[in-house]
């Protein structure tokens, strides 16, 4: 018999197909793991409804569990609450930075609070530190990056291009 804790450990080794340096648990899309008899039930919230990697993520989760001897797997999709970049773990943010992707600036990382709500800065007000040299002297090149969840940026100091993981 498998334990819920063991399943979480196994899922921590399942990489995100678009950003393989982080796992599906680092990303925060695995919302719950449960056991119903001998069936392992994994609840997943996609990053957004049109994410092209959702089917691959589900396949990789099931493949990983079956590779550990789990015969009965059920994946459930949960859309409420919707996924947010706030769900990225601190470890995931550091892994992104080390990989050369600027992590999202959101939630507790926002630069202010307006009327009791988090003020998420976008556009010209957004300062995205370069993941390579740490400079704040960066600029947006395009709202479209290597995947739908990223935008293209460039550092004005080291001149390196980099992806910024968009705040959702």
* Any domain includes 134: yes
Residue 168: the pLDDT is: 79
Task: Say yes or no: 55 and 99 in one domain.
Answer: no
Looking at the predicted structure, is the pLDDT value of residue 126 above 60? yes
Average pLDDT of every residue of the chain: 88
Looking at the structure, tell me whether residues 95 and 161 fall in a common domain.
yes
Q: Has residue 96 been placed in a domain?
A: yes
Domain final position from 26, 49, 77: 77
Question: Per-residue pLDDT for 121 more than 60?
Answer: no
pLDDT tens across 43-101, in order? 999 988 778 889 999 999 999 999 999 999 999 999 999 998 989 989 999 999 999 99
What 3-state class would DSSP assign to 63?
helix
Cα dihedral sign, 6-63-42-79: positive
Higher-confidence residue of 119 and 72: namely 72
Which comes out higher in pLDDT, residue 21 or 52?
21
Alpha helical stretches, state H, the chain: 4-11, 24-27, 54-67, 90-99
Q: Smallest Cα–Cα separation from 109: which of 96, 93, 95, 132?
A: 93
Same domain, 159 and 115: yes
Q: How confident is the model at residue 124 (pLDDT cuts 50, 70, 90)?
A: low
Determine the structural domain holding residue 54 and report its residue range.
4-77
Q: Are residues 51 and 96 in the same domain?
A: no
Q: Does residue 131 lie in a domain region?
A: yes
Query: What does the pLDDT read at residue 127?
Result: 86
CA distances from 86 to 47, 59, 114 (A): 11, 25, 18
pLDDT band at 113 (very low <50, low <70, confident <90, very high): very low
Task: Evaluate whether 89 touches 8 at the Cβ level (below 8 Å).
Answer: no
Residue 84 counted as domain residue = no
70 neighbors 8 (Cβ within 8 angstroms)? no
Residue 82 inside a domain? The answer is no
Question: Is 108 a residue whose pLDDT tops 50?
Answer: no
Look up residue 120 and give its DSSP letter: -
If asked whether residues 21 and 64 sit together in one domain, one would say: yes
Once rounded to an integer, what is the mean pLDDT over residues 30-34?
A: 97
Mark which of 77, 108, 127 sits at the end of a domain: 77
Closest CA to 75 of 38, 17, 30: 30
- Residues facing 62 on adjacent strands: none
Domain count within the chain: 2
- Does residue 85 lie in a domain region? no
pLDDT above 50: residue 104: yes
At residue 1, the pLDDT reads 83
Gyration radius from the chain CA atoms: 18
In a domain, 150, yes or no: yes
3-class DSSP state of 95: helix
Q: How many CB atoms lie within 10 A of CB 81?
A: 9
Q: Are 134 and 160 in contact (CB under 8 A)?
A: no
Instruction: State residue 111's pLDDT score.
Output: 45
DSSP conformational letter for 96? H
* pTM (two decimals): 0.81
């Amino acid at each position: 018999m498998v334990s819920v804790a063991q399943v979480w450990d196994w899922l921590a080794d399942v990489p995100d197909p678009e950003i393989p340096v982080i796992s599906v648990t680092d990303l925060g899309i695995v919302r719950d793991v449960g056991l119903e008899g001998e069936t392992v039930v994994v609840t997943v919230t996609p990053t957004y409804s049109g994410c092209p990697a959702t089917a691959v993520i589900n396949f990789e989760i099931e493949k990983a569990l079956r590779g550990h001897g789990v015969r009965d797997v059920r994946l459930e999709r949960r859309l409420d609450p919707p996924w947010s970049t706030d769900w990225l773990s601190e470890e995931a943010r550091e892994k992104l930075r080390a990989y050369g992707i600027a992590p999202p600036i959101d939630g507790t990382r926002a630069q202010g609070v307006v009327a009791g709500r988090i003020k998420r800065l976008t556009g010209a007000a957004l300062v995205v530190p370069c993941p390579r040299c740490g400079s704040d002297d960066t600029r947006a090149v395009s709202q479209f990056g290597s995947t739908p969840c990223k935008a293209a940026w460039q550092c004005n100091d080291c001149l390196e291009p980099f992806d910024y993981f968009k705040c959702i």
